[in-house]
Amino acid sequence: MVRFDRIYSYDDMFQYLQELAGRFGSFTILRMIGESHDERLIPMLRVGTGAKVLLCTAGIHGRESLNPTVLLRIMEDYCTAYEKKETVGGYDAYTLLNRYSICFIPLANPDGYEIAVRGFSAVRNPLLRRLCKMRRIPSAEWKGNARGIDINRNFPCMSYTQQLLSEFPASEQETLTLMRVMSDYDTVGYLDFHSRGELLYYYRHAMPDTYNQSCRRLAEYLSALCGYRLGLPEEEFPTGSAGGNSVNFYSEHIQQPAVTVETVPDSCGFPLPLEQCERVYDQVRRLPLGVLACSAAASRNIRRLRDRRVTFC
């Protein structure tokens, strides 16, 4: 079982994903969806047999080091529940994961994670290692990839703003990897796990009211499950320091609901305290299944409305 009293390295997590894929081979698929600039494979575990997919990412920011482990435990829980036909927090995992699948990408920025948890010596490429050190940012506070680029400001969307001269929209391999997954799969939604604040961000300045209203309904439902408050529209900066992120790109290009889940209280510093893992897990473990339950309910309602229209005719 995934433990919360230790920090897993990239290699540990990779091995654990392989074990999960081996143990639960009849309803999981482990895929290498891309490679980081410091040549680490980016793994994705698909859990479930349904064609429509919920995408869950963590670790886009290296220093937000608890969410990858929490997602790993959630994957393990869902796989076990599916196999035993048990529920998870009241949700029928077996039925939901036959209707849908969840694509988990727990380490979307593996180089950033390794820098944050193991220091700059974890960077294999000597040139990249030297460039990282020159930025004079403590390794425990490292957000970007091994080129020092913040992946979550690199997505080509309305709010994108250039960070450095060497950076342009989708210049990073990690960004391109996530963009490819978003377009390759038939997704019903996207949860992106970050830290800090115990907040859910749903509002997108670039999107029409109808989108923001349906995204808000989902976020309210998730808020009741995890106890996090909703971020205010004015807290979702349209440009500048928080623009160009993955949920903005997803909302604008895929147009399905996307919610940023900010775990861990605001008061926690970096490195994030390991004791927070259990608390975060208790708060968020039902969220992915909650999104699937909402999606199933929405399509039932659409069917009912359609049937009613036929009757009236």
Closest separation between CB of residue 24 and Zn ion, Å? 29
For 191-208, give one letter per residue: b (16+ CB within 10 A) or e: bbbbbbbbbbbbbbbebe
Q: Please identify, using beta-carbon distances, which residue of 73 and 194 lies nearer to Zn ion.
A: 194
**Residue 6 CA, distance from chain mean position:** 21
Which contacts (CB < 8 Å, 24+ apart) does range 206-215 have?
206/157, 206/158, 206/159, 206/238, 206/248, 206/251, 206/252, 207/251, 207/252, 207/255, 211/251, 211/255, 214/257, 215/251, 215/257, 215/258, 215/259
Closest separation between CB of residue 223 and Zn ion, Å? 19
Q: Please identify, using beta-carbon distances, which residue of 173 and 245 lies nearer to Zn ion.
A: 245
How many Cα atoms occupy the beta-carbon half-sphere of 25 within 13 Å? Answer: 4
DSSP-derived pairing of the beta strands 41-48 and 28-35: antiparallel
Q: Please identify, using beta-carbon distances, which residue of 61 and 286 lies nearer to Zn ion.
A: 61
Closest separation between CB of residue 245 and Zn ion, Å? 9
Q: Please identify, using beta-carbon distances, which residue of 147 and 194 lies nearer to Zn ion.
A: 194
Closest separation between CB of residue 193 and Zn ion, Å? 9
Helices 287-312 and 67-84, packing angle to 10 deg: 60
Q: Please identify, using beta-carbon distances, which residue of 242 and 298 lies nearer to Zn ion.
A: 242
Contacts to Zn ion by CB under 5 A: 61, 194
**Dihedral angle sign, alpha carbons of residues 203, 192, 79, 88:** negative
Closest separation between CB of residue 67 and Zn ion, Å? 9
Closest separation between CB of residue 145 and Zn ion, Å? 13
Q: Please identify, using beta-carbon distances, which residue of 115 and 292 lies nearer to Zn ion.
A: 115
